[in-house]
């Protein structure tokens, strides 16, 4: 009986402490989420205005991940977590320096091949347009692709997350001339590889489709 009474009294003492810790944990969780939301809101504002993350142009290697092999048609990777990438060793050396004067952001790999991109702004529904070029030190080919991207945050995840999503992908060819214009949520591409040298895309929030002429 003495042992039972002792255990009962001990439990009574532990319960208030656990409740206090629970309340404290909830407060920390709420405050953490508020700070996280404010940070992501600032990051998204910078992306939508300048296509920058943490005061740097988005790393070309991240856009490179969306590109399929030249012999393939469809991309395999369609989402990249920017917030996580910038906390890894793989992307820690990125300086954000624009290496060319014509508006491209470029990275050169150890084998001499390079990837560069040029941002063409965004549509009214916050879908971004970026043309990505792939080139090699051994050849003269420069293969261009149009990437249509949007960005989102999962507020339920505590881990760093700010996702760049590939909405649509179109090859523009090897050293071909093209002209890209946009109006509200439509994109007009003039390029000799398309039928009648023109492609018109209309974009919703998370997908785009070709407008038949």
Does 189 map to a domain? Answer: yes
Identify the residue whose tokens are 């879908």.
127
Residue 22 lies in a domain: no
Strands 163-174 and 128-135: unpaired
- Predicted pLDDT of residue 205: 86
Q: Does residue 158 lie within any of the structural domains?
A: yes
Asked if 203 and 185 count as a contact pair (C-beta separation under 8 A), the reply is yes
Instruction: Quote the DSSP letter at residue 137.
Output: S
The span from the CA of 173 to the CA of 191, in Å, is: 9
In a domain, 10, yes or no: no
Does some domain include residue 76?
yes
- Say if 16 falls within a structural domain: no
pTM over 0.85? The answer is no
Range 72-79 contact pairs with CB under 8 angstroms and sequence separation of 24 or more: 74/169, 75/166, 75/169, 77/166, 78/165, 78/166, 79/163, 79/164, 79/165, 79/166
pLDDT value at residue 22: 56
Average pLDDT across each block of 10 residues of the chain; the chain has 213 residues. List them in order: 48 51 50 49 89 90 93 92 88 69 84 91 96 87 94 80 94 88 93 81 91 77
Region of 55 on the Ramachandran plot (φ > 0 left; ψ -120 to 50 alpha; else beta): left
Q: Count up the domains in the chain and report the number.
A: 1
Q: Are 116 and 105 spatial neighbours (Cβ–Cβ below 8 Å)?
A: yes
User: Does residue 189 contact residue 201 with C-beta atoms inside 8 Å?
Assistant: yes
Whether 67 is covered by a domain: the verdict is: yes
In a domain, 5, yes or no: no
> What pLDDT sits at residue 145?
94
- The answer to whether 165 and 78 have CB atoms below 8 angstroms apart is yes
Query: Could you write out the DSSP letters of every residue in 111-125?
Result: TS-EEEEEEEEE-TT
Query: Can you give the residue range of the structural domain that contains 39?
Result: 29-210
SS3 152: strand
């Amino acid at each position: 009986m003495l042992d039972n009474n002792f255990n009962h009294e001990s439990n009574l003492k532990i319960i208030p402490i656990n409740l206090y810790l629970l309340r404290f944990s909830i407060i920390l969780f709420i405050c953490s989420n508020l700070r996280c939301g404010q940070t992501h809101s600032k990051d998204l504002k910078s992306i939508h205005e300048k296509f920058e993350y943490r005061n740097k142009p988005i790393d070309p290697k991240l856009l490179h991940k969306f590109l399929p092999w030249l012999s393939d048609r469809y991309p395999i990777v369609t989402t990249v977590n920017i917030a996580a990438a910038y906390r890894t060793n793989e992307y820690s050396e990125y300086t954000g320096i624009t290496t060319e004067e014509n508006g491209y952001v470029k990275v050169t790999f150890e084998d001499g091949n390079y990837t560069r991109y040029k941002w063409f702004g965004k549509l009214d529904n916050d879908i971004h347009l970026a043309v990505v070029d792939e080139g090699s030190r051994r050849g003269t080919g420069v293969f261009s692709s149009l990437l249509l991207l949007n960005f989102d945050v999962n507020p339920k995840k505590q881990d760093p997350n700010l996702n760049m999503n590939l909405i649509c992908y179109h090859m523009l060819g090897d050293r071909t001339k093209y002209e890209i214009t946009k109006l509200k949520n439509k994109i007009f591409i003039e390029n000799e590889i398309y039928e009648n040298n023109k492609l018109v895309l209309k974009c919703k929030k998370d997908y785009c489709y070709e407008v038949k002429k």
